[in-house]
Amino acid sequence: MSLNFLHCADLHLGRSQFNSEERFEDFGRAFGQIVEYALENEIDFLLICGDLFDRRNINAQTLIQATYHMKRLKDNSIPVIAIEGNHDRAFRRDRVSWMRYLAEENLIILLKPQYNEGRLDLKPWEENSKTGSAVEINGVRIYGLGYPGAMTGRRLMELAQILPDKRGQFTLVMLHAGIRRMMGSEIGALEEEEIEALRGKVDYLALGHLHRRYEIADWIFNPGAPECVDVDEATYEKGFYHVKVDESGFQADFIPSRRRDVYLDEIDVTGAPDPDSTIEMILSNIDWSRLSSMDRPIVRVTIVGEVKFNAMDIDSEEIKAGIMRNKDCLVVEVINNANLISGPSQVPGLSSREEVERQVLRGLIEESGYAEWADELVEAALDLRSMTQSRSDPSDIADYIKKLSARIHRAFR
């Protein structure tokens, strides 16, 4: 057996960051590069491990963009196997997602988990009904779990129990989830021991969800998003995997993507005597050589440090204008964090905002009489904030709260 495939994720088509048409096109171009690479390298199939779209209710322009690239792959006999991410799933009232529409148009094979009496059930892909959670292509077995959310760990354990013996066949699992040590306290993050249940039964675990690249133990791969979904991702590697499989095993090569240039800078203005001098200090500390090498970049300048005057008097618009006069930028952001934490308001011994939040939450919980639950309730509060900020599915949030409530109820019986 000899074949090769591409593994990408988190394309976020339709994202119009800063309400910019150019940013909308950036995400389309990132997908277009992957398609071009697939055509040039005679790829056998393409994996999309969730979040093809940036949101569930896409507009016509986004659908046109997606179908254009999908049709190019179909016309060249390159099947696309996809799973839904948390951004792709249908609203409860709609029941049918735009991913399902692409499957109905024969543009993708959409693998979705099936359940029997609440447990995972591996059903083969049926072309007529466009349903199933498993498919075989060129001798490769592919299983899709989608985005199980808070149930991810349980679903992986169930999968490990029901996966058929490999019998020498290359076996691949697609999952939209992240590893906890890479993601912190986010809901649905996996403990590495939960994944270990699949070791020996799965050759390649194809992940999506986290926007930066990582690899674990030579069989777990997350390519990250090919374009910066948020500006803070500018320091991440961006791209996709080209995986070559033969009788001796496989090789996964990371292919960097072409993406919008981003200039990030943090400038300490401590000691500046007045707002006008501060602006001069900031503009003189911009790395103009690096900035001039970029093509219509996104620029974010963060102001830090302590000044003796009201930091809010620093004119961010004047800083933006000064940068734009010297360089054609797509957008310039100025974040004023000067004097953010200073003097007696700083909490001794705490080095980050999250640590301050943990301390405050712990104090409130301990005062309420639930001291023995302080650790779990603090983590729960931070988890719930993370879930809402990442626009997790409401059913996942409700399920998380229900499980937490059940544990506390059992403890106080």
Please give the pLDDT value at position 178. Answer: 87
Which among 104, 90, 83 is positioned nearest to 55, based on CA atoms?
Answer: 90
Tokens 């056998």 -> residue:
44
- pLDDT for the residue numbered 166: 84
Residue-by-residue pLDDT tens, the chain, 413 positions: 799 999 999 999 999 999 999 999 999 999 999 999 999 999 999 999 999 999 988 999 999 999 999 999 999 999 999 999 999 988 766 678 999 999 999 999 999 998 988 899 999 999 999 999 999 999 999 999 999 988 888 999 999 999 988 888 999 999 999 887 776 555 557 888 889 889 999 999 999 999 999 999 999 999 999 999 999 999 999 999 999 999 999 999 999 999 999 999 999 999 999 999 999 999 999 999 999 999 999 999 999 999 999 999 999 999 999 999 999 999 999 999 998 754 444 444 444 455 556 666 766 776 566 666 666 777 778 777 766 765 566 776 777 787 777 766 665 55
Q: How far apart are CA 359 and CA 364, in angstroms?
A: 9
| CATH of the domain spanning 3-256 | 3.60.21.10
Q: What is the pLDDT of residue 400?
A: 73
The ranges assigned to domains in the chain are 3-256, 262-340, 353-412
Question: 3-state SS of the chain?
Answer: CCEEEEEECCCCECCCHHHCHHHHHHHHHHHHHHHHHHHHCCCCEEEEECCCECCCCCCHHHHHHHHHHHHHHHHCCCCEEEECCCCCCCCCCCCCCHHHHHHHCCCCEECCCEEECCEEECCECECCCCECCEEEECCEEEEECCCCHHHHHHHHHHHHHHCCCCCCCCEEEEEECCEHHHHCCCCCCECHHHHHCCECCECEEEEECCCCCEEECCCEEECCCCCCCCHHHHHCCCEEEEEEEECCEEEEEEEECCCCCEEEEEEECCCCCCHHHHHHHHHHHCCHHHHHCCCCCEEEEEEECCCCCCHHHCCHHHHHHHHHHHCCCCEEEEEECCCCCCHHHCCCCCCCHHHHHHHHHHHHHHHCCCHHHHHHHHHHHHHHHHHHHCCCCHHHHHHHHHHHHHHHHHHCC
Q: List, edge to edge, every strand of the sheet that includes 331-336.
A: 262-268, 298-304, 331-336
**Residue at 37: amino acid letter:** Y
- What pTM was computed for the model? 0.82
Contacts (Cβ under 8 Å, ≥6 apart) of 215: 221, 222, 252
Q: Which two tokens stand for residue 98?
A: 């735009």
Neighbour-count burial of 168, counting CB atoms closer than 10 A to its CB (0-12 exposed, 13-18 middle, 19+ buried): exposed
pLDDT of residue 356: 58
pLDDT at 285: 97
> What is the structure's pLDDT at 143?
98
The one-letter amino acid at 160: A
Residue 370 pLDDT: 65
pLDDT at 349: 42
The answer to whether the CB of 54 falls within 8 A of the CB of 87 is yes
What length does the chain have? 413
